[in-house]
Amino acid sequence: MPNTNNSGPRTLYEKIWDAHVVERRDDGTCLVYIDRHLVHEVTSPQAFEALRVAGRKVRRPDLTLAVPDHNLPTTARRDAAGKPIPIADAESAAQLDALTRNAPAFGIRLIGDADAEQGIVHVVGPEQGFSLPGATIVCGDSHTACHGGLGALAFGIGTSEVEHVLATQTLLLKQSKSMEVRVEGDLGPGVSAKDVVLHITGVVGAAGGTGYVIEYTGSAIRDLSIEGRLTISNMAIEHGARAGLVAPDETTFAYVKGRPYAPKGADWDKAVAWWQSLASDPGATYDKVVVINAADIQPTVTWGTSPEDTVAIGGVVPSPDSFADESKRQAAAKSLDYMGLTPGQRMVDVEVQNIFIGSCTNSRIEDLRAAAEVLRGRHKAANVKWAIVVPGSGLVKAQAEAEGLHTVFIEAGLEWREPGCSACLGMNPDKVPAGERCASTSNRNFVGRQGPGARTHLVSPAMAAAAAVTGRLTDVRELMR
Amino acid sequence: MTPINHVAGRAIPFGRKNVDTDVIIPAQYLKTITREGLGRGAFETIRREPGNIFDTPEFAGAPILLAGDNFGCGSSREHAAWALLDLGLICVIAPSFSDIFSGNAFKNGILTVVLPQDAVDRLMEVAQSHPIDVDLESQTVTTPFQDRFTFEIDAFRKHCLLEGLDEVGLTLAQGDIIAAHEGRLRADLPFLASANA
């Protein structure tokens, strides 16, 4: 391997890093090769513009895939005659139009809004086999860590870096520190990957992973499906880590095999052999280790405006005074004011008016199955005014419809939508009204994230479904059959 | 990128601490598709105040901004650097900057100068009525009153700014070692070296 700086037993992260270093400089900065680049409409227009102005080309259009997702409406995109319905917001339309023009102009494949495979980039990449174990994967989006669930080194980048990757297929980076988050034991009934990652975020803290790349290990992680692992690594950035990854194993290989971009024939065997060699060596050390007992993880919800503000569903809204740190006390008081909650209030007494099931965290087929399982034969509560289910891609949508899940959602009074980022960040028309609450399967509960004044409670798909049924945050285990 | 060495002219005596990127350019301007024109949204909330420093005629076209601690904190949006450039600002002097902002500024050819608070205070005073002078080659900031402050800057960044080199251009000049890496990939890890559906 070229330019290896890590000697002795190595971690998964160090092995992938070493395999991608093109050049190491004296100050530790490395020129790192990027295997796969996903491009969406929000962070790419200025990068393409800069290339055009400088007369530069895209070095490897074949390693680049463009998919619009943030601005697309999730309502019907074609009228009865099959003609595209214009997008009302002129700026959203301009960003989408720019991607539609830029991708072919630079020789990049575009999976457009009319294509069956369109969806959220972080759902489409793994689904198409474009994202592979052991690969370096970037995208101008902070939730790119998602692809780490396959055992890839994946992270978000800024627009200048998007331009740098387009032009050179490399990035200038310094190696991060490594952290192991080990979750051992069996998850209880009703406890999903989302609860695990919310719990981890509560333990590690929103900035606890800053400067680290995290490897999630332990039997509870190994027992997860790829969908579950993608949910975990998706939120690495919510505990501060630029990337999070899970070692590829038989579950990973079975998921990747046969997907459109997956290696085939002799390449497949070569790939599996290399992927098997990537697991952290016995004796490899991490700069920091966090150990969590799976049995301690309950169905989890957030009460504040940082993803670290987590509490088990059976718990209460904490008092700002309960935090040791003065700045956290102030932040908690501000959060509670914004969220309209009072210390000591039981989480199960918090009423919600909106339900969002979707986002790159929780819009894959397993997520929809988990939500449908709770909703089957039930109906949303009267106080729930708006409840939408937004599949992560056209293929997830088709699969869900083949299984009849859409009928379950519609009969329960939820809306079945077209794929996209939707109410996770409300760049399209899907927003939560000011002052109202949303039980949301997304990844960020920041002030105004789902719309100005919107109050977000992050939950798992099953917990969002349970909240839809009762009209308040609910322990899904009470509804399990 | 435009080379930058000598910046002489009026400096906007802003001086505020913890100016985040939402203040520099509010989120609604993120839905643009060009780098140009963001000056219209720059410091929007501050510029709603009558008599604000940014719209004071004598500071029109000033190339330098004087700011407080932690300038550019918050989101990573590169639009903050583009907005400053669109206002004509090519140099910001402050006691400290957020890492991400100073990286974004550098990538766009904006010189960020870190000086101690008392030096910035003195420059704030001078800037009310007189120009100031920033010289990157000698790493000094001077005033018509014989004030002279020296600053530190990363040698690589200094070189790039002086020569007008952008990172993309520098890396493109290393095309041969990138091609060599691609050759090794094709031999060792062919399934990563190409992507075919």
- Domains annotated on chain B, with CATH: 6-164 (3.20.19.10), 166-197 (no CATH)
φ/ψ of A346, rounded to 5, equals: -75, 135
Q: Which H or E run contains A466?
A: helix A461-470
Q: Give pLDDT tens digits for B22-48.
A: 889 987 788 889 988 999 999 998 999
Whether residue B192 lies within 8 A of chain A, CB to CB, comes out as: yes
Domain ranges in chain A are: 12-173, 177-247+273-296, 300-479
Whether residue B181 lies within 8 A of chain A, CB to CB, comes out as: yes
Task: Report the topology of domain A12-173.
Answer: Aconitase; domain 3 (3.30.499)
Q: Is the separation of the CB atoms in A247 and A12 below 8 Å?
A: yes
A267 burial class (0-12, 13-18, 19+ CB within 10 angstroms)? middle
Q: Which of A156, A158, A67, A60 is nearest to A106 (CA)?
A: A60
Place of tokens 């949508």: A397
pLDDT for A6 beyond 80: no
Candidate from A56, A128, A168 with C-beta closest to B178: A168
pLDDT for A2 beyond 70: no
Q: Give pLDDT tens digits for A214-223.
A: 999 999 999 9
Candidate from A50, A169, A274 with C-beta closest to B178: A169
Rounded-to-integer distance, Cα A85 and Cα A309, Å = 40
Place of tokens 């993803």: A307
Q: Is ipTM beyond 0.85? A: yes
- Work out the minimum CA distance from B77 to partner chain A, whole angstroms: 7
Q: Is the separation of the CB atoms in A151 and A245 below 8 Å?
A: yes
pLDDT for A3 beyond 80: no
Nearest CA in chain A to B175: A168
| Contacts with B101 from chain A: Cβ below 8 Å | none
* CATH of region A300-479: 3.30.499.10
Q: Give pLDDT tens digits for A265-293.
A: 999 999 999 999 999 999 999 999 999 99
Is B76 in Cβ contact with A56 (below 8 Å)?
no
Place of tokens 């809004």: A113
Chain-centroid distance, C-alpha A410: 25
Residue A4 — pLDDT band, cuts 50, 70, 90? low
pLDDT for B18 beyond 90: no
- Work out the minimum CA distance from A305 to partner chain B, whole angstroms: 15
Domain formed by A177-247+273-296, architecture: 3-Layer(aba) Sandwich (3.40)
Average pLDDT across chain B, whole number: 93
Rounded-to-integer distance, Cα A172 and Cα A63, Å = 18
Q: Is the separation of the CB atoms in A118 and A245 below 8 Å?
A: no
Nearest CA in chain B to A142: B76
Q: Give pLDDT tens digits for A67-80.
A: 999 999 999 999 99
A6 burial class (0-12, 13-18, 19+ CB within 10 angstroms)? middle
Is B76 in Cβ contact with A63 (below 8 Å)?
no
Region A91-96 average pLDDT = 94
Total beta-carbon pairs less than 8 A apart between chain A and chain B? 109
Is A261 in Cβ contact with B181 (below 8 Å)?
no
Rounded to the nearest 5 degrees, what angle is found at the Cα of A176, between the Cα atoms of A123 and A198? 45
Place of tokens 């729930």: A384
pLDDT for A416 beyond 60: yes
Q: Which of A230, A66, A214 is nearest to A140 (CA)?
A: A66
Alpha-helical (H) ranges within A34-169 are 45-54, 90-105, 121-127, 159-168
Residue A306 — pLDDT band, cuts 50, 70, 90? very high
Looking from the CA of A153 toward its CB, the CA atoms found within 13 Å total 27
Q: Give pLDDT tens digits for B96-120.
A: 998 778 988 998 999 999 999 999 9
Whether residue B187 lies within 8 A of chain A, CB to CB, comes out as: no
Region A15-42 average pLDDT = 96
The per-residue pLDDT for A170 is 98
Nearest CA in chain B to A258: B197
Q: Is B32 strand, coil or helix?
A: coil
Q: Are A12-173 and A300-479 equal in CATH topology?
A: yes
Burial code (b: 16+ CB inside 10 Å, e: under 16) for A424-455 equals bbbbbebbbbeebbbbbbbbbbebbbbbeebb
Q: Which H or E run contains A371?
A: helix A365-375
Q: Is the separation of the CB atoms in B74 and B97 below 8 Å?
A: no
Burial code (b: 16+ CB inside 10 Å, e: under 16) for A271-299 equals bbebbeebbbeeebebeeebebebeebbb
Q: Which H or E run contains B150?
A: strand B148-150
φ/ψ of A339, rounded to 5, equals: -80, -10
Task: Output Rg (C-alpha) for chain A, integer angstroms.
Answer: 22
Instruction: Return all residues near A98 (Cβ < 8 A) that are at least 6 apart.
Output: A41, A44, A45, A48, B33
Q: Is the separation of the CB atoms in A167 and A182 below 8 Å?
A: no
Residue A5 — pLDDT band, cuts 50, 70, 90? low
Instruction: Return all residues near A171 (Cβ < 8 A) that are at least 6 apart.
Output: A31, A32, A34, A138, A157, A161, A164, A165
- Work out the minimum CA distance from A457 to partner chain B, whole angstroms: 22
Where does A426-480 show beta strands of DSSP type E? 437-440, 455-458
